[in-house]
Amino acid sequence: MSAQDQIKDKVTTNDVVLFMKGTKTMPQCGFSSKVAGVLNYMGVDYADVNVLADEEIRQGIKEYSDWPTIPQLYVKGEFVGGCDIFTEMTLSGELDTLLEAKGVTFDKDAAEQIRAHNS
């Protein structure tokens, strides 16, 4: 199976997927750590893909999304963005709206706490 096929399979068979450096329990870069930390805190059930473990996946995800950086977040097959976009969406409440619209369970109180802490 090609890297593109593996990526498509992962994105389409999981509600939420984070392509990241490291894993959700052991991120290996600050940006990946930030996104994984927020998702973990909010109780989002997501699949993590360690791009450091496979160079073809690492390059392939950039081509798949036409986005040059990692981490990359997908919700219900839709590319959401990288760390900066994810952070903006979290702080504005757009992430809550997206997750609710897509039927993804998360802790709304935790999301509010993040916004309160960052206001």
- What is the domain partition of the chain in residue ranges? 3-117
Helix or strand run (H / E) with residue 48: strand 47-50
Count the helices and strands in the chain (H runs, E runs): 6, 4
Is 29 annotated as belonging to a binding site?
A: yes
DSSP per residue over 27-45, as a string? BSSHHHHHHHHHHHHTT--
Per-residue pLDDT of the chain (119 residues; tens, 9 = 90+): 899 999 999 999 999 999 999 999 999 999 999 999 999 999 999 999 999 999 999 999 999 999 999 999 999 999 999 999 999 999 999 999 999 999 999 999 999 999 999 98
What fold does the segment set 3-117 form as a domain? Glutaredoxin (3.40.30)
Rounded to two decimals, the pTM is 0.96
CA separation for the pair 111, 93 (Å, rounded) = 8
pLDDT at 119: 83
SS3 4: helix
